[in-house]
Structures are given as C-alpha cells and as structure tokens.
Structure 1
Amino acid sequence: LPIQPVAPPSPDYVPGPEHPPSPDYDDTDDEDPEEEPFEENDEEEEEHPALADSPVVPTIDLALSAREAEALEPDEPIHAPGSPISIP
C-alpha cells in the first residue's frame, strides 16, 4: 500500500484527549433516611409458600439403610439400584 501524504494540522488546532472526559456523577447518598437499614442478624425469615401451580417433586433416598447394607454379600456393590455409580 502506498503511503498517502498527510497535511499539517491547522494553525487553530488544539490537541485534546483521545477520549472525552466522563461526566461527573454525584456520589451522594440518595437513600430514604426513613428506610430501615439491612441487618444481617435479622433472625426473622420470610416464608415463601409454594405456588398452587407448582409441581410437587418427591424426594427419593438412594442410600441403603444399615440393615440393607449388612445383608449384602462381601463382593456385592453397596449402591442402591438406579443410583449412579462413581468409580474413583
């Protein structure tokens, strides 16, 4: 690519910053002074009842009970049927 000649800057040209300065934002607190501050030690928890439309998902315990585990033969795996097996 050939290099194009560049005209010298105008005598009225004043070099400025590459990017215009960002506007000054007011950092004052605009919070309502009557509003209660958040307290981390607030022991009251809000109750969130389930919606009437929400599906009920049953919990399934995939762990074997102690009695079931004792009934296994020494070479039988100790995982519940249908549960994933992880091999280290």
Structure 2
Amino acid sequence: MATLTLRKVPDECVAVLKQAAQDNNRSMESEVRSVLEEYTAQYITHHVVSNADLVQEMWRLLDGDGLDEDEELVPPRNTYDVEPRPIDFGDDDDRP
C-alpha cells in the first residue's frame, strides 16, 4: 500500500473532514481513505461506462463466460408493454 502526504489543505476542508469522521465514528485518516475510495470507485465506473461499449466491457469482465453467442442480452420487446399479458390457468385436464 502507498502512503500519501497532503500539504496546504485548507482549514475548512480539515474541519469538514473532522466533522465527517466524528459523524461516522472514524478517525480522520479512515474518513479520508473512505472518501478517496468512494471517489475512485465512482471515477472508474463513470470512465468505464462512458468510454467503452458496455456490452464489450461486460464480455471483458466475464472473460467469455456468460451468454452464448446465439443468446441475446435483452429479450425482444413484445406487445405486453401496451396490452395485458395473458394468464395461463392451466388446462382443465390437469385438475384432479
């Protein structure tokens, strides 16, 4: 793990971090680590989604596992979006 040293952090930022750490029952170091982890996770997620084809990225992450080539990621739309879906009560022959 790396160690970061920050200089010239504005007093207002330090005060907010201290308050956030106290509110979350953490040390200020733990609070700063949490803020950095959350920011980097959001940055990476935004970067992946906005700069890559989502389906291709999913294939990369799945490493080829998942859907077969003949399967569709999203099933085709049907008329159930505008009409009621039929209900199957079973055949009369299935009743005892």
Say whether the fold is shared (TM-score over 0.5).
no
TM-score normalised according to structure 2 size: 0.24
Q: Which has the higher helix share?
A: 2
Relative contact order: is structure 1 or structure 2 higher (C-alpha 8 Å, sep ≥ 6)?
1
The structure that has the greater radius of gyration is 1
TM-score normalised according to structure 1 size: 0.25
